[in-house]
RNA sequence: GGCCCGUUCGUCUAGCGGUUUAGGACAUCUCCCUUUCACGGAGAAGAUCACGGGUUCGAAUCCCGUACGGGUCACCA
């Protein structure tokens, strides 16, 4: 184990879109792999065909790609939905035949057995047990003696059932009263008595393995060194551990990550929370293939992958320094499992937005300009030049957390105001204001219409008429932008130019009369 | 309910036996900057480290118990 190559895997089930908690698990796996010059694999755990949702695999691959954490091996390498790597296939439904010999091996060694109890029989016994006051009946080291399985039935009976193709499942034979202990990288030693672990189904009636068997076999075959997954797996970790022991395989190192909790207090963040909580829970937009229900994603919401990833990384981990803004590369070099916290992390959308705002600040200028130019074209149908775009962009950037916010906020660079902030009109607009504006329009027209000159002549006008800025400034802004807050109105006027500025001043005078 | 995991400002967290009058960030508030709104800057407020016992010269840090919270108990993953 010591000098083994680090190989980790993210193993989602294609039952729908990946939510942010899943993305974080993938991210930590990726960071850990890269930090240790190891491999990050994506394996699809689709052993339950009844829960398969069309499009989820592509969604998972697309999401990881958007975050910049694409796998080195498995499904989604080179952005392809097909898989590649030395252990192909990486979809458990395609590995069906691989598992059977291992199940048989377990049966031969006495660590597993066939059980012929039907689902109906089992649910009946559970119901009965519940009524009798036991809310949780388990198929385990005690109860299996009274069930229909290869341990209780005669060899002949078993053979007959097999010959008559009676459906059966294979269950693990858990030892009775053994302390199962394993070390978890984030939690330390975890210990459970085997009486509390039931005889989990390893292979289902349909011949497909359950998650528990498939994940252990695949992790071993794929030479996974560390299993990094969510805390919801902690209760079944003892089962996995004992399976490794039964197979006489070296156990991987386990690390169970704290859960992402809902901001409103109770429970883990789940897919069903959708947009109900006022923020996306998915990385990308998702629309359900059948119900056509849609859920919004961080990407479409306006988050940069860098901001999203940075935010996610800090939900349950921190570098131990005061630095909070990290690039993916920086995260890779700082990451380690010892710094992962144990308690669940409540998601805070305010902080999430702040992370994106910080990305906006440090983002490469040419990138920002491109994004801005394209968005303006898309939203307003107007093509703008880079020089002009740069000025407009930085004029509005300070008060935005997202690029799309900038694009929305600067609308009056492209559209004349249709209405005016009525409260401010009442407060600042007057007959005098109209006269002053007329004067100003005339005065401005004699300048070069640069921000500086407009401002200088404006202040000049204030002086010579003994006016205060607060008397005239808002009036001018109202005429130009329709509202009274925003960036320098003089720069806005420079950007929209003399003609439009004059039209707006005239419009305001006629409209607000 | 059984089992497992967890518990430091409202939130994310630093802290891994003495350097702590418990540090940072988000959010909140104040002031400064400013034509406004932001940004930025300076500051304030905010945690008896869940509670109770130990261990120790000394505990947020180690141990035990209690409470609370969460996870999990399928032929799902």
* pLDDT at residue A3 in the model: 66
User: Are the C-beta atoms of residues A257 and A24 closer than 8 Å to each other?
Assistant: yes
Say whether both A427 and A396 belong to one domain.
Answer: no
Residue A208, pLDDT > 80, answer yes
Q: At A290, is the pLDDT very low, low, confident or very high (cuts 50, 70, 90)?
A: confident
> Do the domain assignments include residue A323?
no
- In terms of DSSP H, where are the helices of A194-236? 211-221
> Do the domain assignments include residue A24?
no
Say whether both A182 and A107 belong to one domain.
Answer: yes
> Do the domain assignments include residue A377?
yes
Instruction: State yes or no: is A165 an active-site residue.
Output: no
Averaged over A31-60, what is the pLDDT? 95
Question: Per-residue b/e over A331-366, b at no fewer than 16 CB within 10 Å?
Answer: bbebbebeebeeebbebeeeebbbbbbbbbeebeee
User: Are the C-beta atoms of residues A335 and A317 closer than 8 Å to each other?
Assistant: yes
Say whether both A145 and A123 belong to one domain.
Answer: yes
- In terms of DSSP H, where are the helices of A16-55? 20-35
Q: Which A residues 234-253 have CB within 7 Å of strand B?
A: 234-236
- Please report, rounded to whole angstroms, the spatial distance between the CA atom of protein residue A328 and the C1' atom of nucleotide B17: 36
* pLDDT at residue A4 in the model: 85
Q: Edge-to-edge strand order for the sheet containing A169-172?
A: A112-115, A169-172, A201-203
> Do the domain assignments include residue A446?
yes
Residue that is last in its domain, among A196, A214, A232: A214
Say whether both A437 and A390 belong to one domain.
Answer: no
Say whether both A130 and A188 belong to one domain.
Answer: yes
Residue that is last in its domain, among A379, A413, A447: A413
Task: Report the CATH number at residue A210.
Answer: 3.90.800.10
The reply to whether A13 Cβ lies less than 7 angstroms from strand B is: yes
The reply to whether A399 Cβ lies less than 7 angstroms from strand B is: yes
Select which of A35, A268, A271, A390 is catalytic: A271
Among the ranges given (A1-10, A289-298, A309-318, A339-348), the one the predictor scored with the smallest mean pLDDT = A1-10
Task: Report the CATH number at residue A491.
Answer: 1.10.10.350
Say whether both A101 and A210 belong to one domain.
Answer: yes
* pLDDT at residue A77 in the model: 94
Using DSSP's 3-state secondary structure scheme, residue A46 falls into coil
Say what the ipTM of the complex is: 0.95
Residue that is last in its domain, among A168, A184, A214: A214
Q: By residue range, what is the domain housing residue A464?
A: 422-511
* Nearest nucleotide relative to A208: CA against C1': B75
Say whether both A387 and A462 belong to one domain.
Answer: no
Q: At A60, is the pLDDT very low, low, confident or very high (cuts 50, 70, 90)?
A: very high
Say whether both A382 and A450 belong to one domain.
Answer: no
Q: What is the C-alpha to C-alpha distance for residues A16 and A364, in angstroms, rounded to an integer?
A: 35
Say whether both A409 and A427 belong to one domain.
Answer: no
Token readout for A186 is 């984030």
> Do the domain assignments include residue A397?
yes
Say whether both A101 and A209 belong to one domain.
Answer: yes
Number of domains in chain A: 3
> Do the domain assignments include residue A151?
yes
* pLDDT at residue A277 in the model: 86
> Do the domain assignments include residue A317?
no
* pLDDT at residue A513 in the model: 76
> Do the domain assignments include residue A38?
no
* pLDDT at residue A135 in the model: 86
Say whether both A394 and A376 belong to one domain.
Answer: yes
CA dist A476 → A65, A399, A446, A466 (Å):
48, 21, 17, 17
Say whether both A388 and A467 belong to one domain.
Answer: no
Averaged over A141-170, what is the pLDDT? 96
* pLDDT at residue A398 in the model: 92
User: Are the C-beta atoms of residues A281 and A19 closer than 8 Å to each other?
Assistant: yes
Give the Cβ contact number of residue A203 at 10 Å: 25
Nucleotides of B under 7 A from a protein CB: 1-8, 10-16, 24-27, 35-39, 69-77
């Amino acid at each position: 184990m010591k000098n083994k190559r680090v190989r980790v895997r993210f193993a989602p089930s294609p039952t729908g879109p990946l939510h942010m908690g899943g993305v974080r698990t993938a991210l930590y796996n990726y960071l850990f792999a890269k930090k240790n010059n190891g491999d990050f694999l994506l394996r699809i755990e689709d052993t339950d065909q009844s829960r398969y949702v069309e499009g989820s695999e592509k969604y998972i691959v697309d999401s990881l790609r958007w975050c910049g954490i694409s796998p080195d091996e498995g499904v989604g390498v080179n952005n392809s939905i097909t898989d590649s790597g030395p252990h192909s296939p990486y979809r458990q439904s395609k590995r069906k035949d691989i598992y059977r010999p291992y199940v048989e091996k377990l049966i031969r060694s006495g660590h597993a057995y066939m059980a012929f109890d039907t689902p109906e029989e089992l649910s009946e016994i559970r119901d009965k047990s519940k009524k009798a006051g036991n809310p949780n009946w388990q198929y385990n080291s005690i109860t299996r003696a009274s069930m229909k399985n290869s341990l209780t039935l005669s060899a002949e009976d078993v053979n007959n059932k097999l010959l008559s193709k009676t459906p059966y499942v294979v269950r693990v034979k858990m030892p009775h009263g053994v302390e199962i202990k394993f070390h978890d990288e984030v939690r330390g030693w975890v210990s459970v008595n085997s009486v509390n672990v039931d005889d989990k189904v390893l292979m289902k009636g349909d011949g497909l393995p359950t998650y528990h068997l498939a994940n252990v076999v695949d992790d071993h075959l794929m030479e996974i060194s560390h299993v990094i997954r969510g805390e919801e797996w902690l209760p079944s970790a003892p089962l996995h551990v004992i399976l490794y022991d039964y197979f006489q395989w070296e156990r991987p190192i386990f690390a169970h990550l704290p859960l992402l909790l809902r901001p409103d207090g109770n429970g883990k963040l789940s897919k069903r929370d959708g947009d109900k909580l006022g923020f996306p829970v998915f990385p990308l937009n998702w629309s359900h293939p059948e119900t056509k229900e849609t859920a919004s994603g961080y990407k479409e919401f306006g988050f940069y992958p860098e901001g999203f990833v940075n935010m996610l990384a800090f939900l349950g981990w921190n570098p131990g320094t005061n630095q909070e803004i990290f690039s993916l590369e920086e995260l890779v070099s700082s990451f380690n499992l010892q710094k992962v916290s144990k308690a669940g992390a409540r998601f805070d959308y305010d902080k999430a937005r702040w992370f994106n705002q910080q990305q906006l600040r440090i983002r490469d200028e040419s990138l920002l300009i491109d994004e801005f130019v394209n968005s303006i074209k898309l939203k307003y149908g107007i093509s703008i030049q880079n020089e002009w775009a740069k000025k407009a962009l930085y004029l509005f950037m300070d008060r935005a957390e997202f690029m799309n916010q900038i694009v929305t906020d600067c609308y009056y660079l492209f559209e004349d105001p249709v209405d005016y902030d009525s409260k401010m009109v009442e407060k600042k607009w007057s007959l005098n204001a109209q006269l002053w504006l007329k004067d100003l329009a005339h005065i401005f027209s004699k300048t070069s219409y640069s921000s500086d000159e407009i401002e200088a002549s404006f202040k000049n006008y204030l002086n010579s008429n003994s006016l205060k800025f607060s008397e005239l400034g808002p009036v001018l802004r109202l005429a130009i932008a329709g509202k009274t807050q925003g960036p320098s109105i003089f720069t806005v006027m420079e950007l929209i130019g003399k003609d439009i500025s004059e039209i707006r001043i005239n419009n305001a005078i006629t409209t607000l009369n």
